[in-house]
Structure 1
Amino acid sequence: MPASHATVATPNASRYLQQLCKHWGHKFDVTFDPTQGRIALPFGPVELKASDSELEVICNLEGEGDMARMQQVVADHVNRFAHREGELTFKWEPLT
């Protein structure tokens, strides 16, 4: 299963993790607490971890999905929640 990872610097990591999980919880199977979450998207699960200074995101692609599209969807949603902070930088790296 292809996977990619990004660590995003933000003091609001827990807030964004919870907002994203609640937002997608109406459509997808989601589990979360203030420090970690998992969202079962149709093209693969997204795992989130929050610390005081960063949000870690792992995208796991299943089947025939498009990793670049998955990364963009996740980053766009987080950046919508972070509008007061300004656009966050996602530097995606493959996980082996």
Structure 2
Amino acid sequence: MKSTARLLTARASTYLQQLCKHFGHKVPVEFTAHEGHITLPFGTCALRADEAGLTLINICEPENIEKMEKVIGDHLARFAFREEFSLTWQRDG
């Protein structure tokens, strides 16, 4: 199953790198300033940063989709605490 969310922000690259560095202490990650990939035990998250925002794409088994959305969303909220936002996840599959 796949779920996607987009955060409109000028700090997309910063948040991408913060998320990847944070998770990198515990799980495999790969990232550049504009793309990242986090491999959690229950799914993966692809991240893409551009000038307008940050796109998050979770891929996992259907029974883990809510957990993926919560884990990634909660961690992003910690780093983006200066911004008011809410993520709306769109699910496919």
- Do these two structures clear the TM 0.5 threshold for a shared fold by scoring above it? yes
Structure 2: stretches of 5+ with no match in the other structure: none
After the TM superposition, list the runs of 4 or more consecutive aligned residues in structure 1 that deviate by more than 4 angstroms. Answer: none
The alpha-carbon deviation at position 7 of structure 1 amounts to 1.0
By percentage of residues, which structure has more helix?
2
Query: Which residue of structure 2 aligns with residue 71 of structure 1?
Result: 69
Residues 41 and 65 of structure 1: CA distance in aligned 2, closer, same or farther (over 3 Å): farther
Aligned partners of 1:35, 1:51: CA distance in 2, in Å? Answer: 7
Question: 1:52 deviation in Å?
Answer: 1.1
Alpha-carbon distance between aligned partners in 2 of 1:65 and 1:29, rounded to the nearest angstrom = 22
- 1:37 match: 36
Residues 48-82 of structure 1 show CA distances to partners (whole Å, capped at 9, x for unaligned) of: 000111110000014x7421121011111001001
Q: Which stretches in structure 1 are left out of the alignment for 5+ residues?
A: none
1:3 maps to which residue?
2
Percent identity, aligned pairs only, is 42
CA-atom RMSD in angstroms: 1.3
| Matched letter for residue 7 of structure 1 | R
Note the C-alpha offset of 1:83.
1.1
